């Protein structure tokens, strides 16, 4: 850990073992200048109280149109980096009133009532996948990925045959790969989504993407072409990436805590609370998406100047001992815990009810169906994805029988 005036690096080993790193930051410099893997300068926020405040602070903005200039200013290369506005003009990268308008157009599809209507289909997909698993499996590849990607593909109306293509593009777009590779994946994803939207416009079906493409709200508002592509991208990525990591991370946590696994098997009524604890203990997002200051802002006693990026370390905040007793420990009986895994404030994850439903069904059926479920690798050999945003395993080898 460098001195407190030197920016820390968020690359390399930090992605493989973030929790010990962030524990030291919470103790020594909870709001600290840092460099992301491709060189972007940010201020990283690591304590729970500061993180929660930052996530809801209206002085921290998210408008992507203003963000590109700041990225060029604060990156070592001086370039804009990443993918362009074709995939970024969505509600997660906007401020009110644009955010309010965009969120309103899709919010009705993700109410708890609407999501609960998906339960029979989620259960059916889960049972089919579990029935097809071999005795030794990669739980990420064979179960954690195909479950949520099938659900979101059916919800949006995306052909099943295309899922490997967009998975490949998404993996690159959310990684720390070089800019040229990310830009190429962005162009491929944009072209695919434009073609899909054109097909929905000419031949609509009973799916969400058709509805977004062809309908207006009561005020006559509709999404522009760029907004449609960006919103489709956001819903597709957020609709499966977080749940893949939730299932994988939660299963690993249970396998490394056999007492907790036994308790959950003995009392399935603990499952909803257990999923909340999995989200807190080792959630699917390492960090929230970037915010930036438009004026000097004080966070945790540190004055951050105007035109600076702020990165909220969700995984760190969710283990803060000042908020969570024994925060580094897994406790499925912890109860309602106020974790920040889905964010906080106006950008709270719209898909949280769907992720919770899929997590409960997937984990509950998995441990019930396979009483001999065991890790089939040395935990030290497991690798975590190289991503600024996601906290997820590359693979999870298990023995089922």
Residues 245-255: tens digit of each pLDDT: 999 999 999 99
Long-range contacts of 129-133 (CB under 8 A, 24+ apart): 130/365, 130/366, 130/369, 130/370, 133/400
Q: How far apart are CA 81 and CA 344, in angstroms?
A: 27
At residue 4 the predicted structure's pLDDT band, cuts being 50, 70 and 90, is low
The per-residue pLDDT for range 148-176, each reduced to its tens digit, is 999 999 999 998 889 888 888 988 888 88
Q: Which are the contacts of 181, defined by CB distance < 8 A and separation ≥ 6?
A: 172
Considering 54-63, 77-86, 333-342, the range whose residues carry the highest mean pLDDT is: 54-63
Higher-pLDDT residue of 81 and 242 is: 242
Whose tokens are 């993918």? That residue is 83
How far is it, in rounded angstroms, from Cα 67 to Cα 70?
A: 5
Tokens of residue 368, six digits: 């019930």
Q: Which of 170-184, 217-231, 292-306 has the lowest mean pLDDT?
A: 217-231
Is pLDDT of 273 > 60? yes
Domains of the chain: 8-399 (1.10.630.10)
Residue 202 CA to residue 45 CA, distance in Å, equals: 47
* Mean pLDDT across 85-94: 87
pLDDT for 220 equals 63
Whole-prediction pTM = 0.92
How far apart (Å, rounded) are the C-alpha atoms in residues 195 and 217? 24
| pLDDT mean over 273-292 | 96
């Amino acid at each position: 850990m460098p001195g407190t005036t030197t920016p820390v690096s968020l690359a390399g080993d930090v992605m493989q073992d973030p929790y010990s790193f962030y524990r030291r930051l919470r103790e020594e410099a909870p709001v600290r200048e840092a460099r992301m893997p491709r060189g972007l300068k940010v201020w990283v926020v690591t304590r729970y109280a500061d993180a929660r405040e930052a996530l809801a602070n209206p002085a921290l903005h998210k408008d992507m149109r203003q963000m590109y200039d700041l990225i060029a200013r604060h990156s070592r290369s001086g370039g804009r980096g990443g993918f362009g506005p074709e995939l970024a003009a969505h509600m997660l990268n906007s401020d009110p009133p644009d955010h309010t308008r965009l969120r309103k157009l899709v919010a009705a599809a993700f109410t708890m009532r609407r999501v609960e209507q998906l339960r029979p289909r989620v259960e059916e997909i889960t049972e089919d996948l579990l029935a097809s698993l071999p005795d030794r499996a990669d739980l990420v590849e064979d179960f954690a990925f195909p479950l949520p990607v099938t659900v979101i593909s059916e919800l949006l109306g995306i052909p099943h045959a295309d899922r490997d293509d967009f998975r490949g593009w998404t993996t690159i777009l959310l990684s720390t790969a070089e800019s040229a590779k990310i830009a190429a994946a962005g162009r491929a994803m944009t072209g695919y989504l434009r073609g899909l939207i054109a097909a929905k416009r000419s031949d609509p079906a009973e799916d969400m993407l058709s509805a977004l493409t062809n309908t207006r709200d009561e005020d006559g508002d509709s999404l522009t072409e760029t907004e449609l592509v960006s919103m489709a991208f956001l819903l597709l990525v957020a609709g499966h990436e977080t749940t893949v990591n939730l299932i994988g991370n939660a299963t690993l946590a249970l396998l490394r805590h056999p007492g907790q696994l036994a308790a959950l098997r003995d009392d399935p009524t603990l499952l909803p609370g257990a999923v909340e604890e999995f989200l807190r203990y080792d959630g699917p997002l390492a960090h929230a998406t970037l915010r930036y200051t438009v004026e000097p802002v004080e966070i945790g006693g540190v004055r951050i100047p105007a035109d600076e990026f702020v990165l909220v370390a969700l995984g760190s905040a969710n283990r803060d001992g000042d908020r969570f007793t024994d925060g580094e420990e897994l406790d499925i009986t912890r109860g309602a815990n106020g974790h920040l895994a889905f964010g906080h404030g106006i950008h709270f994850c719209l898909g949280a009810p769907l992720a919770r439903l899929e997590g409960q069904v997937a984990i509950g059926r998995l441990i019930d169906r396979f009483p001999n479920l065991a890790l089939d690798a040395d935990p030290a050999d497991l690798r975590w994805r190289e991503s600024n945003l996601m906290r997820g395993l590359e693979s999870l080898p298990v023995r089922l029988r």
